[in-house]
Amino acid sequence: QYQCKTTFDWSRFISLYERGIDRGIGYRDSMQDVLGVMHTVPEQAKNRIVELLKVQLSAGDAKSVFYPATKLASGGGRSDDHLWAVFSVCTYIKETGDFDFLDGQVPYYDCGEATVLQHLEQGIKFTMSKLGKHGIPLMLGGDWNDSISHIKRTGDVESVFVFFQLAHAVKELMELYKYLGADEKYSWAEGIYAYCKSKLDVVWDGEWFLRAFDGYGDKIGSKENEYAKLFLNTQSWAILSGLASGEQSVKAMNSVKKYMVSDFGIELLYPAAPGFDIEKKCFIAYSAGVRENGAIFCHSNPWAIIAECLLGRVENAFDYYFRLLPSRRNDKAEICKVEPYVYCQNILGRANSRHGEGANSWLTGTAAWMFIALSQYLFGIRPDYDGVYVEPHMAESWDNMYIERVVRGVRLKVKVRRTNASESNNDIKCLRMNGRQIGGTKIPYSMLDGVHEAYIEVIL
């Protein structure tokens, strides 16, 4: 949590590794960093969201870097920046219940202004207006993976990652509209989600999901490729978005487990590219096993953990969590070379002779997302619009665990125990709050009114 606050304060623009020159506060970086502090400094998180929305353009996309001293911004033209705002705003409202935030007026960077909710909707409309020949969102200037943006030299590139990110965003808006009773808006978002569902076969490669289509129409992240056959992010986000079928989800994550898991975490792609393919696919700007070319890009690991939780494969989720846990590096300092008490951005992959060596510690989106993965999915305490989910997952070797979490001013004290040591599943047999039986796994906020501490017992 300390790293979450540090990353929230500084984004990526000054550290041991970054000089602080022409770096600023990254739009997509900071829209994710707010997730790690939403429960501790929600007002500051809201203010940061507003600062970032102010550098969104009226068309719907956003500038990529914001300078807080001058209020100016630069860059932009990427396909993913604006979509990150949806999850951040929805998470803030679930955490605080501040629905009035949606109606607040925020100016666009170029001209005009709109409500916070309209900013989110305009971002969705922008993405839907930029589809490629397969009907998949264009990568434009790049997406989350900066390295592979080099393939845009081949022409109009379609990003399967942004495709799943779009579906995830409209799914979040559908849940919000449903709670608000906004039927017309719900139908609009549902139509986009249905469109994404109709394109699922286009991006499925048989054992996993593709990463992109390049300007030649060739597949990126396919079994047909010589290298970079399999990318991590499209497998996890297929599940986070809810688009993938059960069979596809299991096959995709089984492929991740088979090919991509190292002792230090899950690698970003497999196999690492040996070098540039100048003629057609010059998209890997690093040596084999370095950064986006087959390293353990730590930011992407929490998404795989969340995906495994959603699939109910708890042992895989805990395994991936512990592989990347900084304290596991404490007795491997001569290999890892980064502090064993914070997450770093990336760790050299198995294709590199210095496998296990880390770089760019502290300022990484890994911190916020790993906190979300641990607290809301592994530990399972997840605020929603009308209540808080209590869906803890427990490692097979554990008999019990204890969690404390403050939700809307109420301290939840959660004791989890397994009644039968021979059973390793995480099905909840009984959920009680202050001695009262709860039906389902969500405690309504109405039950927390006037309560300072809630004693919650979960029996698996």
Task: Reply yes or no on whether the pLDDT at 439 is more than 60.
Answer: yes
Q: What pLDDT does 425 receive?
A: 75
**Is the predicted pLDDT of residue 375 greater than 90, yes or no?**
yes
Q: For position 23, what pLDDT does the model report?
A: 73
Per-residue confidence (pLDDT) for residue 147, from 0 to 100: 80
- Predicted confidence (pLDDT) at residue 422 exceeds the cutoff of 90: no
- Lowest pLDDT segment from 41-50, 87-96, 213-222, 312-321: 213-222
Higher pLDDT, 445 or 12: 445
Task: State the catalytic residue, choosing from 22, 103, 110, 146.
Answer: 146
Average pLDDT over residues 213-217: 89
pLDDT of residue 312: 95
Residue 146 appears among annotated catalytic residues? yes
Which pLDDT belongs to residue 251?
98
Q: What would the 3-class secondary structure string for the chain be?
A: CHHHHHHHHHCCCCCCCCCCCCCCEEHHHHHHHHHHCCCCCHHHHHHHHHHHHCCECCCCCECCEEECCCCEEECCCECCHHHHHHHHHHHHHHHHCCHHHHHCEEECCCCCEEEHHHHHHHHHHHHHCCECCCCCEECECCCCCHHHHHHHHHCCCEEHHHHHHHHHHHHHHHHHHHHHCCHHHHHHHHHHHHHHHHCHHHHECCCCECCEECCCCCEECCCCCCCCCEEHHHHHHHHHCCCCCHHHHHHHHHHHHHHCEECCEECCEECCCCCCCCCCCCCCCCCCCECCECCEEHHHHHHHHHHHHHCCCHHHHHHHHHHHCHHHHCCCHHHHCCCCCCCEEEECCCCCCCCCCEEEECCCCHHHHHHHHHHHHHCCEEECCCEEEECCCCCCCCCEEEEEEEECCEEEEEEEECCCCCCCCCCCCEEEECCEECCCCEEEHHHHCCCCEEEEEEEC
pLDDT tens digits along 34-81 = 999 999 999 999 999 999 999 999 999 999 999 888 889 999 999 999
Q: What percent of the chain has pLDDT over 70?
A: 95
Q: Tell me which of 70 and 177 has the higher pLDDT.
A: 177
Residue range 446-454: mean pLDDT, rounded: 95
What tokens appear for 450 in the block?
């006037």
Section 408-413 average pLDDT: 97
Q: Which of 237-251, 340-354, 410-424 has the lowest mean pLDDT?
A: 410-424
Highest mean pLDDT, choosing among 64-68, 140-144, 235-239, 394-398 = 235-239
The pLDDT confidence band at residue 372, using thresholds 50, 70 and 90, is very high
Summarize the confidence of residues 348-377 as an average pLDDT: 96
Report which of 275, 321, 281 is spatially closest to residue 301, judged by C-alpha positions.
321
**Confidence bin at 275 (pLDDT 50/70/90):** confident
pLDDT of residue 215: 87
pLDDT at residue 22 in the model: 63
pLDDT for 173 equals 98
- pLDDT confidence band for 30 (50 / 70 / 90): very high
Q: Residue 116 — very low, low, confident or very high, per pLDDT cuts 50/70/90?
A: very high
Query: For residue 283, is pLDDT > 60?
Result: no
Sign of the CA dihedral running 139, 32, 384, 443: positive
pLDDT tens track for 145-162:
888 877 776 779 999 999
Residue 2 has pLDDT above 90, yes or no: yes
Q: How many residues does the chain have?
A: 460
Q: Check residue 203 and give its pLDDT.
A: 98
Whether the pLDDT of residue 238 is over 60: the answer is: yes
308-348 tens-digit pLDDT: 999 999 999 999 999 999 999 889 989 999 999 999 999 99
**Average pLDDT of the segment spanning 407-436:** 89
pLDDT of residue 421: 64
Task: Band the pLDDT of 287: cuts 50, 70, 90.
Answer: confident
Q: How confident is the model at residue 279 (pLDDT cuts 50, 70, 90)?
A: low
Q: Is 382 left (phi over 0), alpha (psi -120 to 50) or beta?
A: beta
- Mean pLDDT on 301-310: 98
Mean pLDDT of the chain: 93
Q: Tell me, what's the pLDDT at 205?
A: 98
